[in-house]
């Protein structure tokens, strides 16, 4: 059984993961509307990943005999001026999530809940990958600038992502 502190913190993290999913779904719909189906694909896959993260937390809580309490998901933005702006927001958001995961690790250590700390290590590694992949996209966008042909090719490249 999780401590009440950890139970509450993980429930908050579930909400944060679902909010992340909602944000990426909004971004996907925005770029579908803008005619950038590859970018939309990338954000759709991010949406699914965030849902999976929330499910991992929910399954862990169930395994530990704790109750998941879903909360309302806050409103997200629905449009972005540029691709670079959207991916800058994505990177900033992933850094916030990294901080939240790190806070959970700290709390698990304080509560001497080594099973939870161990489970959270997967998320620590996942956040390194998340930040790195978005930074690579931003690096590419910095090279591309606002060149239409390059954006077209970039969109096609992101459309190849399958996982």
Q: Which residue has the tokens 């709390």?
A: 107
Domain count, the chain: 1
Residue 91 CA, distance from chain mean position: 9
By residue range, what is the domain housing residue 48?
4-69+79-159
Radius of gyration of the chain (CA): 17
Angle ∠(30,87,55) on CA atoms, nearest 5: 80
Write down the pTM of the prediction.
Answer: 0.94
Residue 138 has pLDDT above 90, yes or no: yes
Residues 6+ away with beta carbon under 8 Å from 55: none
Q: The domain that contains 144 carries what CATH number?
A: 1.20.1260.10
Instruction: Give the tens place of pLDDT for each residue, 15-70.
Output: 999 999 999 999 999 999 999 999 999 999 999 999 999 999 999 999 999 999 99
């Amino acid at each position: 059984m999780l401590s009440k502190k950890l139970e509450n913190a993980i429930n908050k993290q579930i909400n944060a993961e679902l909010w992340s999913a909602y944000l990426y779904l909004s971004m996907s719909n925005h770029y579908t509307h803008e005619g950038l189906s590859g970018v939309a694909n990338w954000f759709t896959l991010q949406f699914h990943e965030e849902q999976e993260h929330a499910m991992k937390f929910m399954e862990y809580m169930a395994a530990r005999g704790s109750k998941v309490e879903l909360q309302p998901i806050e409103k997200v933005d629905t449009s972005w001026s540029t691709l670079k702006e959207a991916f800058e927001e994505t990177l900033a958001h992933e850094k916030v999530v990294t901080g939240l995961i790190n806070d959970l690790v700290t709390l698990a250590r304080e509560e001497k809940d080594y099973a939870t700390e161990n489970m959270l290590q997967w998320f620590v590694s996942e956040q390194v990958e998340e930040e790195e992949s978005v930074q690579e996209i931003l690096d590419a966008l910095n090279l591309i600038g606002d060149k239409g042909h390059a954006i077209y090719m970039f969109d096609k490249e992101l459309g190849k992502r399958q996982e």
